Chains A and B, each alone.
Chain A
Amino acid sequence: MNELFLKLKQAIIDGDEEIVGELSQKAIDEAINPVDAVQLGLIKGIEVVGELWKSGEVFLPDVMMSAEAMKVGLGLLEPEIAKLGMSQGEAKAKIVLGTVEGDIHDIGKNITGAMFTAAGYKVYDVGTNIKAEDFVLKAQEVGADIIGASALLTTTMCSQKKIIDYLIEHNLRDRFKVFVGGGPTSRAYADEIGADGWAESADEAVALADSMFAEK
């Protein structure tokens, strides 16, 4: 059994979706504890990838592929965990991530999603051109801790503020940390609109979240 977890861990490190899928299915078929498969297999693997990236030994495509493989494994194992009525074990925090209304640029947002996944966060990517309301509805639905909003254009940055305004208007401002990012944004801008966090790059966003949630 231990060997299966090791193999899962390695398949995540290799970023091999297919093998992760096969092994996750095998765990289900053999009635292996799915929480253990996630905790001792998938998460151990993604932690290694995160460390290797930090030390400069692997590159972004390695992280992105491992994060994709992680999604495949969780996609199979999570329903099983729910079916058995078990608790999954806590992710560091949950983040709803998307590109704001009027903006369809998503490469930065995708990188950020992968980095959060690699750091042990549960990521809900809601896509691009997302209205403030839809960010918040998703965050409520999944019980998110963080709403992360991306904008690449000076003309769409204002939509980041709309999310904060929406939260205030609906008495939800304290429920979520709002992170903003993207090329034209800055720390000063984030302060100006009352965001909880701003980072220039994906790894800095993770570090910022760690400083808020790692101890949780």
Chain B
Amino acid sequence: MMLPKYNVLTQEQVEIIHNESIKILEEVGMEFDYEPALEVLKAQGQKVEGHRVHFTREFIEAKVKLAPSQFTLHARNPEHNLVCGGDSIIYMPGYGAPFIQLADGTRRKSTMQDFDNFVKLTGVSKNMHMTGGTMAEPQDIPDEIRHLKMIYSSIKNSDKCFMGSTEGWERAEDSIEMVSLLFGGKDVIKEKPVLISLINSLTPLKYDERMLGALMAYAEAGQAVVIASLVMAGSTGPAALVGTLALQNSEVLAGIALAQCINPGTPVVYGSASALSDMRTGGLSIGSPECALFISASAQIARFYGIPSRAGGGLTDAKIVDAQAGYESMMTLMAASLTGINFVLHAAGILQYFMAISYEKFMMDDEMAGMLLHYMKGFNFDEDGLAFDTIAKVGPGGHFLAQKHTRKNHKKEFRTPQLSDRSAYEAWSKEGLDTNQKAHKQWQAVLADYVPPALDPSIDNKLLEFIAQRSEK
């Protein structure tokens, strides 16, 4: 039995946030910098003045109801199909970092090689359920074709689900074309969504052309989208937790409503990446207790709407894989996991408030994800779980180590660490590795052993042809 998810708000408090959001959408409105989106909203009877749209309560509430409470994402290996929603939890690595933080303390630009490596590491991981999106920005590849190369690598180097490009309508269409080649046509993927992509608002209260173009392309193609808001409380949002949630919520609701206008029933995920602005420098701060509260509240707000949720991850402001990186990441990953977030982007690798990804941090977070997956399983109350017969058999003063029950049952109920060190001091001190050093060795060993899953050569060729043809333009 999975542990129950815990709530941080009362039902009445969730309703207050909902009503505040509606008030923002009605009275303040939002800006949409994309003509096709404005046309859709105008046609649906919403008040449009210039780029500003004022929504009605009835419209928002009716459209949000059209979003499914859960959906299945299809992977090229059906064993890796994922249910998004309900009690399920999906972990995946960080997204969008321009830098790689190395184990020796230096930092460099991320490359295509890094992206490939993270696809492989995630492909092997028992705790990461899908490979994600822009796990590392391949800055050595021209911007115009980066998305093609990333999608190809995601297909070729792993058979788990992955994300599409949201760099405007055209790149979203490219992503859709490529997965259509893989899965056998647009009709097939319209019935069975295979891509999920990350749409972000431009807080406060705006959506830009890039994101709206991608949102509309994916909705038309029946592909899933995460609609997320990153309010920086104190700078791009109020220095108030509830006000920040209301602002985030209004942005996400408007985005979900738009997706449902384009294609009723479009699978959407309610997304929050809200965090703090450090009040001394204005910098983003994600490894904070306030951020953990935003994550927790977002899970509950999404439940209120009956929509799957995205928030959290192993989030930290630490610069290197140190104690701060560990304790902050565990706080935010645990908050997401225990409050019922379904889609946990940034679950592994993130350092420096999203600016860097690290291989060592990836391995450390992968361990944390494994610990949390185990924790969430909770307790086993069957006969083996109660273990009365064994307790009776051993009796007073004996030990349990030589019991059949022990030999068998520990494998079910105990988790063996992948990275954490449980050895005695002298044994440890032979190598004396800290987490960073140990993780460094570990990921290199994983990559050295990696064999990518086979891909049908005819599909592979079609994909390569498509990339070649698109790259010429």
- B235 and A107 within 8 A (CB): yes
Complex CA distance for A203 and B278, rounded to whole angstroms: 14
Question: Which chain A residues border B280 with CB–CB below 8 Å?
Answer: 53, 56, 59-60
Question: Which chain B residues border A107 with CB–CB below 8 Å?
Answer: 232, 235-236, 277, 282
- B143 and A60 within 8 A (CB): no
| A65 located at the interface, meaning its Cβ lies under 8 Å from any Cβ of chain B in the complex | no
Find the B residue at minimum CB distance from A200. Answer: B283
Question: Which chain A residues border B235 with CB–CB below 8 Å?
Answer: 107, 111
Find the A residue at minimum CB distance from B33. Answer: A104
B282's partner among A104, A108, A158, A186 (CB-CB below 8 A) is: A108
| B20 located at the interface, meaning its Cβ lies under 8 Å from any Cβ of chain A in the complex | no
| B159 located at the interface, meaning its Cβ lies under 8 Å from any Cβ of chain A in the complex | no
Interface residue ranges of B228-259 to A (CB < 8 Å): 232, 234-236, 239
A61's partner among B167, B232, B234 (CB-CB below 8 A) is: B234
Within the complex, what minimum Cβ distance (angstroms) separates A38 from chain B? Answer: 27
- B234 and A184 within 8 A (CB): no
Complex CA distance for A201 and B277, rounded to whole angstroms: 13
Known A104-B208, A155-B167; judge A186-B99 contact (CB<8 A).
yes
Question: Which chain B residues border A189 with CB–CB below 8 Å?
Answer: 109
B279's partner among A60, A158, A188 (CB-CB below 8 A) is: A60
- A154 and B98 within 8 A (CB): yes
A202's partner among B143, B208, B281 (CB-CB below 8 A) is: B281
Known A61-B234, A104-B202, A183-B98; judge A111-B143 contact (CB<8 A).
no
Q: Count the A residues whose beta carbon is within 8 Å of the partner chain — how many? A: 21
Within the complex, what minimum Cβ distance (angstroms) separates B288 from chain A? Answer: 16
Q: Count the B residues whose beta carbon is within 8 Å of the partner chain — how many? A: 23
Interface residue ranges of B148-183 to A (CB < 8 Å): 167
Complex CA distance for A111 and B232, rounded to whole angstroms: 14
Complex CA distance for A203 and B280, rounded to whole angstroms: 10
- A59 and B208 within 8 A (CB): no
Complex CA distance for A186 and B137, rounded to whole angstroms: 15
Q: Mark A43-59, 1 if CB is under 8 A from B, else 0.
A: 00000000001001001
A60's partner among B99, B139, B282 (CB-CB below 8 A) is: B282
Question: Which chain A residues border B107 with CB–CB below 8 Å?
Answer: 186
| B419 located at the interface, meaning its Cβ lies under 8 Å from any Cβ of chain A in the complex | no
Find the A residue at minimum CB distance from B281. Answer: A201
B281's partner among A60, A105, A188 (CB-CB below 8 A) is: A60
Question: Which chain A residues border B139 with CB–CB below 8 Å?
Answer: 154
Q: Mark A94-116, 1 if CB is under 8 A from B, else 0.
A: 00000000001101100100000
Question: Which chain B residues border A59 with CB–CB below 8 Å?
Answer: 279-280
Question: Which chain A residues border B236 with CB–CB below 8 Å?
Answer: 107
Question: Which chain B residues border A105 with CB–CB below 8 Å?
Answer: 202
Q: List residues of A whose CB falls within 8 A of some B CB.
A: 53, 56, 59-61, 104-105, 107-108, 111, 154-155, 158, 183-184, 186, 188-189, 201-203
Q: List residues of B whose CB falls within 8 A of some A CB.
A: 98-99, 107, 109, 137, 139, 143, 167, 202, 208, 232, 234-236, 239, 277-283, 355
Q: Knowing that A53-B280, A154-B143, A189-B109 are A-B contacts, what are 9 other residue pairs whose CB atoms are under 8 Å apart, sorted by A's residue number?
A: A56-B280, A105-B202, A107-B232, A107-B277, A111-B281, A155-B167, A186-B107, A201-B281, A203-B281
- The 6 nearest A-B residue pairs measured at CB: A184-B98, A111-B282, A59-B279, A154-B137, A155-B143, A154-B98
